[in-house]
Structure formats: C-alpha cells, structure tokens
Amino acid sequence: MGILSNIFQKIFPSSHPAVAQAPTQASPPTATTTAAAPATMSTPATASAAAVATPAAPMAEVDVESILNHMSGASSLNWRTSIVDLLKLLSLDSSLDSRKELAKELHFTGDTGDSASMNIWLHRQVMNKLAANGGTVPADLKD
C-alpha cells in the first residue's frame, strides 16, 4: 500500500470510494500538466472495467480542512503548508525517506535533494489528490 493510500485512509471514511479503490501507486502525470489529477485513482484497465460494469455514483464530498482541524494535535502543527506536519498529524512517517517515497509515488521530477522544493510540491500534490478524490480542500491549498 502506498503512502497516498495511507493518507486517504486517515482522512476519508472507510466506505469512501477513494479508500475502497485506493491504488498502491498514483497515476502517472498527464502530458498537459503534472498538477492535473485523474477523476479516479484506478488503473486504466480497472477504470474501463468499472465504467462498463456500472455508471459512476456521485462521490460523497469530505471536508478535509474540518477533519484535519479536529484531529488531536492540529492546533500545534502547521498542516496547511507543511507536508511534514500533515504526515505527523495523520500519524504517518514524516521522515525524509518517507517523503522521497511519496515523491516517487506521485512522480516528482525535481531534485529530491532539494527537500524544501520537494516538500512544497508534495503538499500541493497531496491536496490536489484529496480534492480530485472527493475531498473539499480550500482553494489556497491546491492548484
């Protein structure tokens, strides 16, 4: 299971489609932009099989900001801008190795040695992925 899947499991209810169909790896970036997020996080074969089987049900919106703000420790962590604090809030490994793994999972093409730039990119991508999978995320936290 990937780090992004672990993030989804901590934020979305277990019945939410983002958790039920969470991938082990994120979809590769599109040709138009690396910030673009797919409508679903499934592989092409799974997505086409699901489309044939049943029409997509509307995805329940989850207020990500409210959930995170109400977690224990939220007031002492800057989860809104820090990927490290976001991971800590979710009780996930926030080590540099873990963040590099998340960067690989999300297809980061920059220098992982520049942790400041990587961290900013990671936080933005995680917020974009949450929004693309039924999370209501404040506009200032995503692209």
Instruction: For the chain, give every domain's residue range.
Output: 3-28+36-141
Of 48, 62, 57, the closest CA to residue 7 belongs to: 62
**Amino acid 37: pLDDT:** 41
Q: What confidence score (pLDDT) does residue 45 get?
A: 45
Model confidence pLDDT, tens digit, residues 34-93 = 444 444 444 444 444 444 444 455 556 899 999 999 999 999 999 999 999 999 999 999
Residue-wise pLDDT tens digits, 91-134: 999 999 999 999 999 999 999 999 999 999 999 999 999 999 99
What's the burial of 9, exposed, middle or buried (CB within 10 Å: 0-12/13-18/19+)?
middle
pLDDT value for 12 = 87
Q: Buried b / exposed e across 90-105, counting CB within 10 Å, b at 16+? A: bebebeeebbbebbeb
pTM across the whole model: 0.72
Please give the Cα distance from 81 to 83 (Å, whole number): 7
Amino acid at site 116:
A
The DSSP-derived string for 31-64 is: SS-SS---SS-S-HHHHHHHHHHSPPPPPPPEEH
Flag whether pLDDT at 143 surpasses 60. yes
